[in-house]
Amino acid sequence: MDLQLISFVTSIAILLIGFSIFSSVLLAITHFNKAHYQELVFSRYMGFIMLAGLCGLQITHFFWLYTDQHWGSTGAYNILLFIIAPAFFLFSQPILIPNKREKPTLIYLVHLIPIAVSPFLALWLALPLAFLLGATYLVWLAIRLFRLRSEKENFKQEILLLGGVFVIAVVVAVLGLLRTSFQDKFFFSLYSIAIGLAFFLVQIALGLRPDLSHEICETARYTSTTLNNIDCASALSTLDKLMQVDKIYTDAELGLAELARRLELNTHQTSELINVKLGKSFSRYLREQRINAAKVMLKNETSASVLSVGLNVGFSSQSGFYEAFREIEGMPPGQYRKLNPASSNS
């Protein structure tokens, strides 16, 4: 194989290894926090394990590609190989099957068996087995996502990006099964690049939709509808009146239960109504209502401080207001005010 090609691919791999490690830390801090996983505690911990495993793999690849220290032949590397797919499965299951109990049960121990056996496998056997195991989990994931196809319009961009991650995972599985066809360094370079690209696509998807895991969970929960006997058009009209006329979003304590009471629905129906009919979670919908009101105040009430605007529209803290504004508008509220001055006739 051309040495220049190998050198070029290795350089790209090293760059993406650094990006992967940085992304792992960033995701652990910004995405896998309590705010995004309030009802998905087990998924959150599995997410940490998955990130740690991927980060460990990339560190091992770096030493192999940059310093020729081939740690890939150790039992520890095999454990990292075999821990990724089960961790991803256990992370995804409560999100894609939310009506199932999230707390771990004894059946989950089955997923630990390959991990326990892995340190005793030679690398030539461990790699194809790990990728074959990963392919099995990918089939399960594909089936679960296919069942959400009716909601694809609500997650069009995100599904395309996550579909890219899925394709990368399939390619990696194929590469693993054909590993003997490549030189060692070239194979591990390709493997490192694939992991780095997957991190890149995930970062974009979460940048577009920070609450993606929660929103997919909510969508999956409603594959069996509770809205058959509900006049959805009337309920949505009432919801719009409560927000636009009564401005109930200004209540910092407003929660799903209170909104359901005002709509004369139960919490499950209210949550499903917003998720299915409006294509967003209740928390996202509420943040959008508050941010829309804040934008009007920022433009028209120039004497009001940014903090007072946030408190007036229902946020309980400055940090919560700034985080939500950045998430929805892509900039802090102060910058939005500068870019959108009050009209002359206001």
Question: What confidence score (pLDDT) does residue 288 get?
Answer: 94
Q: Give residue for tokens 């005002």.
A: 262
Q: Could you tell me the fold of the domain covering 229-339?
A: Arc Repressor Mutant, subunit A (1.10.10)
Q: Which two tokens stand for residue 254?
A: 């407003």
- CB neighbours (10 Å) of residue 37? 20
Question: What confidence score (pLDDT) does residue 346 get?
Answer: 41
Residues 6+ apart with CB under 8 A from 294: 309, 310, 313, 321, 325, 333
> Domain map of the chain by residue range?
3-220, 229-339
- The model's pLDDT over 120-154, given as tens digits with 9 standing for 90+, comes to 988 778 888 888 888 888 888 877 777 665 555 55
Give the separation between CA 333 and CA 294, rounded to whole angstroms: 8
Q: How far apart are the first and last CA of the chain?
A: 70
Give the separation between CA 97 and CA 264, rounded to whole angstroms: 28
Q: Which two tokens stand for residue 272?
A: 């499903």
Rounded to a whole number of angstroms, the CA Rg of the chain reads 24
Of the candidates 66, 62, 51, 56, which has an alpha carbon nearest to the alpha carbon of residue 18? Answer: 62
- The model's pLDDT over 4-42, given as tens digits with 9 standing for 90+, comes to 888 899 999 999 999 999 999 999 998 898 777 877 888
- % of the chain at pLDDT higher than 70: 88
